[in-house]
Structures are given as C-alpha cells and as structure tokens.
Amino acid sequence: MYTEKVLEHFFQPKNVGRIENADGVGTVGDPSCGDYLRLSIKVEQERIADIRFEVYGCPAAIATSSIFTEMVKGKRLEEALNVSDVDIVEFLGGLPDPKIHCSNLGALALRRAIEDYQLRRVPQGMH
Ligand code: FES
C-alpha cells in the first residue's frame, strides 16, 4: 500500500532529531489522529541551513516529515514556504487516501518555525 519511496523514508528517515540552539522551532499536532511533529531550523543568510524533526506518528507521518526536510533543506525561506503537501505526496509517488492528511504536518510546522525565527529577530522591547 505504500510506495517504495515512502518505505525508504520510513525505515531510514533523514534529519531526525532536534537542533540545539535552533533559530526557530515549530510544532503542529493533528487532533484527529493524535500525531505530532516538531521541527527545528537553523537559518543562514535567509536559507534553511539545517532542519531536524521529531515526530510522534504513523509511518506516513514519519516518511512525509523525512522527505519534507530533504526537500526544503538549503532553500531560501520563501521558497521553502512554497513546498506544499501536494509536492510531498507527488515526490513520494502517492499515499493511500486515508494517509494523505499525514503530509500536512510538515508545511504547517515549517511555517510556524519560520514565524518563530522572525519573531526572535525582532529587537527585544519591540515584541
Ligand atoms: Fe495522522 Fe498519519 S495518521 S498524521
């Protein structure tokens, strides 16, 4: 039921873990299934220099988070924000219908991580 690419990223996920002293952190949970994703990013010259994820979730959530981190790593922030759940599913060669929603976590968590990064850059006292 899963494509080979999905299984590959499920069994050997890339970029697992958390970045100490991250520049931004974003979390997202899906209340319908209880899955949860935490992304941490390092930003250099407005590019995603490094990205790590921790996920509590199903095989599709693990695989989509892994491929998502690979797809956005090295990209400029605004380009990274354009990577959508549809791109992820396409890249993986499809997901079973009930698992399509699992691909939503990555883009949403990244949006939050980038917002967090931008907020941290606001000079103290201006919050
Ligand atoms: Fe909810 Fe996979 S079943 S993210």
Probe target for ligand 1 pocket from 62, 101, 103, 108, with the most ligand atoms within 8 Å of CB: 101
pLDDT of residue 74: 98
Measuring from atom 4 of ligand 1, which residue has the nearest CA?
102
State the residue for tokens 């991580």: 113
Q: Is the CB of 30 under 6 A from ligand 1?
A: yes
Beta bridge partners of 36: 29, 56
Ranges of beta strands (E only) in the chain are 24-30, 35-44, 47-56
pLDDT digits 0-9 by tens, 76-125:
999 999 999 999 999 999 999 999 999 999 999 999 999 999 999 887 66
Q: What is the mean pLDDT of residues 42-49?
A: 97
Confidence grade of residue 127 (pLDDT, cut at 50, 70, 90): low
Residues whose CB is less than 8 angstroms from the CB of residue 97 and which lie 6 or more positions away in sequence, other chains included = none
Q: Is the CB of 35 under 6 A from ligand 1?
A: yes
pTM, two decimals, is 0.92
Q: What is the whole-number distance in angstroms between the Cα of residue 53 and the centre of ligand 1?
A: 15
Measuring from atom 1 of ligand 1, which residue has the nearest CA?
33
Burial environment of residue 78 by CB neighbours within 10 A (0 to 12, 13 to 18, 19 or more): exposed
